[in-house]
Amino acid sequence: MLYVEKLREAADAFELRPADAGGNVVLLEPYDPIVFARTIERSHLCIVNPTQLAVDLLTGPGRAPSEGEELLTWMKDNTDAWRT
Residue 41: phi, psi to the nearest 5? -100, 125
All residues at 6 or more sequence positions from 14 whose CB lies less than 8 Å from its CB, including other chains: 25
Q: What pLDDT, on a 0 to 100 scale, did the predictor assign at position 84?
A: 67
Question: Which pLDDT does position 72 carry in this prediction?
Answer: 97
> Can you tell me the distance from the alpha carbon of 47 to that of 3, in angstroms, rounded to the nearest whole number?
9
Pairing of β 27-28 and β 40-42 = unpaired
Give pLDDT, residue 30.
92
Give ∠ CA 41-24-78 in degrees, rounded to 5.
40
pLDDT tens across the length of the chain (84 residues): 899 999 999 999 999 999 988 888 989 999 998 988 889 888 998 889 999 999 999 998 889 999 999 999 999 999 998 886
pTM for the model stands at 0.75
Amino acid found at 28: L
